[in-house]
Amino acid sequence: MLFIDNKQNNKWAEIGLAEGTSKTVPSPAGRDVQPGLPLGLRLLAFGPVLILLALIIIVGAVTPGFLSSINIGNILAQTAVIAVVAIGQHLVILTRGIDLSVGSNLALATVVGGLVFKVWDSSFGVALAMLIAATLVGAVNGVAYVFGRLPHPFIITLATLSICRGLALELAVGHTTMRGMPDGINVLGDASFGFIPNSFFIVAGVVAIFLVITKKMVWGRWIYAVGGAPQAALGMGIPVKGVLISTYMISGLCAGIGAIILAGRTGASSPLYGDLLELDTIAAVIIGGASFLGGRGHIGHALVGAVMIGVIRNALNLNNVDVFFQMIAIGAIIVVAVEADVLRGYLESRARAQQSARS
Amino acid sequence: MIVDTRTPVLSVRNAQKHFGAIHALKGISLEAHRGEVLALLGDNGAGKSTLIKCISGLHMLDEGEMVLDGEDVRFHSPAAARSAGIETVYQDLALFDNLTPAQNFYCGRELGFPSWLPAPLRLLNAREMDKRAASVIDRLKVKLPKFDAPVALMSGGQRQAIAVARATVFARKVVILDEPTAALGLRESRKVVDLVKQLRDEGNAIILITHNMEHVVELADRAVVLRQGHKVGEIKPSRDTQQALVSMIVGAEA
């Protein structure tokens, strides 16, 4: 769509030149229109998608079986947890924050679900318990960050990372896994429709809901506003504290949804689940192209990043590459993604300077 | 002193504000009238910013009263001041870089539906907001490179023009401008000065903070000078009184 825009602008510019005027030409609405977003910025916005497509084509060409329906189903199932938790992480990062607690929050949620299962074999009850537990942890993060007047959410979520893991281990009283989940949870996490895992549909549903919230709802607009300029948001009368707390609660909720998927896939709960999931989700958001500095990003970024991590892991697995190399590869890609963010800032300031010169 | 028999749209009486041991406002009174520009002058730390933050609801006065259109008011938040008809264009924290001009216009008071939902859960009426913002931009003859690009891509003058234009949409009584031309070049300042005149002519009371004495002389009907939290004078600015004003600001008796 953006490319069509570009063409139109070029057309206007051409007409302008043909008429011997400057580069600005009245648009049909009567406003002056100059060529829009610089090409470099457009490329950066679509870069992650292009890289993912290139990655899929290259890996598909050199790896037999990569594009088979079974393997695609595998990738989708393995990516589901990262993707859904990354959506919550994305909202937090949009507000210039970070949530380090998602991994151990997820583990704690599965353990709570496992304990509920022991006394109540109900899919609904177990799922609800996981969601409530995880959302509560998110609420603690948000409230402590906002009302504790902490300078940055890094420390509080680091603290809850530790607390949740410890609490999960404590509640599991020494078990590393607790077998058993209600049938409904197993169906959600483990069964599939054709070759497409059911968890894919959960992720799709979550994406749809959060697309509406972030792009169509006043609340979502406020999340972007708080991330773009917290002081201005305060001055404009946006309830900044409430918005911040809500994003941490959503991040917790998403960790709870991830807990349901993971517990369903394995048919078990474990205090060891979600190890380093915080890094995977942060990586997914950044690799996907959202800005670590807040205010810029789209749920699509989190998804693209999550799929990219899934594809890289899967491809390296299929090619029998050492697991340590996977970590190195993903780390290297994060560096590239963060540099791309810096480059975007540079291109924007250059565009601004051009505007000043022109006006 | 100027004797004024008209009814002011906003009057502040005996404003007092402490920050811990610092006595930032020591009993300041001022009046703002519709269709008039009131310049608020003073050196850095004189209390200008504190005073406008109190008027616009970011801070609350410790003592003193504010009367808006004949009614005693006390604002607990910027939102309350805005809905009472007081718009503020802050110096550097005015815009959201990541949002488009139209999104900036309506940020914090988005048009949404359905109205029975609580405000944050309403769906954005993006088309209507775009349309109205575009018509204001057109009316004020602000030139923007692209209406659907984030304002991060726009020049300082374009950004300030957007911020002032935003105030024109919602202003009903008082518009406070905190150094609207501080970071701008000559031509861009001119554009903003024109916008301020337009705002005034539409019947708003303007409170203008600026260090630019040319603009004070050109725009202001009255100038209130603050020094160290006191109001030290009120003058009709003109070429002749410009020197006296500067002396008053820096505290050198002319």
Residue B21 has pLDDT above 90, yes or no: no
Q: Residue B121 is which amino acid?
A: L
For chain B, domain boundaries: 10-94+156-250
Sign for the CA dihedral angle at B140, B142, B148, B151 comes to negative
- Region B167-175: mean pLDDT is 84
Topology of B10-94+156-250 in CATH?
Answer: Rossmann fold (3.40.50)
* A36 — pLDDT class (breaks 50, 70, 90): low
Residue B70 has a pLDDT of 87
Q: 182-221 in A: which are within 8 Å (CB) of B? A: 216-219, 221
Tally the C-alpha atoms within 13 A of residue A207's C-alpha that lie toward its C-beta. Answer: 20
What is the Cα Rg of chain A in Å?
A: 23
ipTM of the prediction? 0.80
Residue A222 forms contact with B (CB below 8 Å): yes
Residue B159 Cα, gap to closest chain A Cα (Å): 10
Axis-axis angle for helices A183-190, A123-147 (nearest 10): 70
Q: What would the pLDDT profile of A294-329 be if each residue is shown by its tens digit?
A: 888 999 999 999 999 999 999 998 988 888 888 888
User: In sequence order, what are the residues at sequence separation of 6 or more whose Cβ sits closer than 8 angstroms to the Cβ of residue A225?
Assistant: A232, A233, A236, A238, B96, B99, B107, B108
Residue A23 has pLDDT above 60, yes or no: no
Q: Which two tokens stand for residue A242?
A: 């409430």
What is the average pLDDT score of chain A? Answer: 86
Q: Which two tokens stand for residue A211?
A: 């697309």
Q: Which two tokens stand for residue B245?
A: 């004003």
Q: Report chain A residues whose CB lies below 8 A from the CB of B134.
A: 29, 31
Q: Residue B172 is which amino acid?
A: R
Domains defined along chain A, listed by start? 2-11+39-352 (1.10.3470)
Considering the entire predicted model, what is its pTM? 0.84
Residue A245 has a pLDDT of 97
Residue A348's nearest CA partner among B162, B146, B154, B92 is B154
Residue A107 has pLDDT above 80, yes or no: yes
Q: Report chain A residues whose CB lies below 8 A from the CB of B124.
A: 216-218, 221
Q: Which two tokens stand for residue A125?
A: 């009850």
Tally the C-alpha atoms within 13 A of residue B23's C-alpha that lie toward its C-beta. Answer: 10
The DSSP output letter for A269 is E
Q: What is the DSSP string of A344-355?
A: HHHHHHHHHHHH
Q: What would the pLDDT profile of B129-157 be if each residue is shown by its tens digit?
A: 999 888 888 877 777 877 888 888 888 77
Nearest CA in chain A to B131: A29
Residue A344 has a pLDDT of 82
User: In sequence order, what are the residues at sequence separation of 6 or more whose Cβ sits closer than 8 angstroms to the Cβ of residue A322?
Assistant: none
